[in-house]
Amino acid sequence: MARRTHEDALGVVGAETIIGAGVIVHGELESQSDIMIDGQLEGNVTTSGDITIGVNARIKASIKGNNVTVAGQLKGNIEASGETSIRETGLVDGDITSAGLAISSGGQFSGRSRMHKDSKEA
């Protein structure tokens, strides 16, 4: 893993909220900035920033954010004002509402997908 920069150490760059592997969270996780989750979470996640669900993550929650990237397991709905991306190791069991959806080869999605009305104009 690359060493974090001085700016990252100060929280100027990178996710403000990081939930590491081995950590279990219950409840409402809210932030005004980016969230990175690599542990277990049950509840809801809301932010105006981006959300990244890491390969080790096991999540049962509704996710609401800007761009959402899923590389782990998510059971719950995604509401993204930006794009949703399901990576090779990602698994989503729930509905997705976003401006765009990308699923990498190997990524799994079970649910309904709905695009924002204004996403074409964008």
Partner 1 sequence: MYYYIVNPTAGHGQVKNLQDKLRARLDQLGIRGEWATTTGPGDATRLAKAAVASGHTTIVAVGGDDTVNEVINGIENDSTAIGIIPIGTANRVANQLGIITWPQACDALAARRLTPYSLIAAGQKFFLSTLTLGFETDLDKTVDMSAKGWRAKASQFAKSFGHATTYNSLKCKIEVDSKFTVNCDLFSLTVANQKFLNPLAENRLIIALSDRPNAKLKLGGLVWQTLRSGSRGTLEDTATTRFLADRVVIETEPPTGIMVDGKVAGRTPIAIRLTDRRVRFITEKIVADFKDAIGTRP
By CB under 8 A, residue 3 contacts partner 1 = yes
Output the six-digit token pair for 6.
């001085």
For partner 1, the closer of residues 12 and 115 by Cβ is 12
Least distance (Å) between residue 25 CB and partner 1: 5
Q: Tell me whether residue 101 is exposed, middle or buried, using C-beta atoms within 10 angstroms of its C-beta: 0 to 12, 13 to 18, 19 or more.
A: buried
By CB under 8 A, residue 71 contacts partner 1 = no
Q: Taking Cα atoms as reference points, which of 9, 60, 12, 71 lies closest to residue 36?
A: 71
Least distance (Å) between residue 117 CB and partner 1: 31
Least distance (Å) between residue 87 CB and partner 1: 21
Determine the 3-state secondary structure of 84 from DSSP.
strand
Binding mask 8-47 for partner 1 (x = CB under 8 A): -xxxxx-xxxxxxxxxxxxxxxxx-------x---x----
Q: Tell me whether residue 84 is exposed, middle or buried, using C-beta atoms within 10 angstroms of its C-beta: 0 to 12, 13 to 18, 19 or more.
A: buried
Binding site for partner 1 (CB under 8 A): 3-4, 6-7, 9-13, 15-31, 39, 43
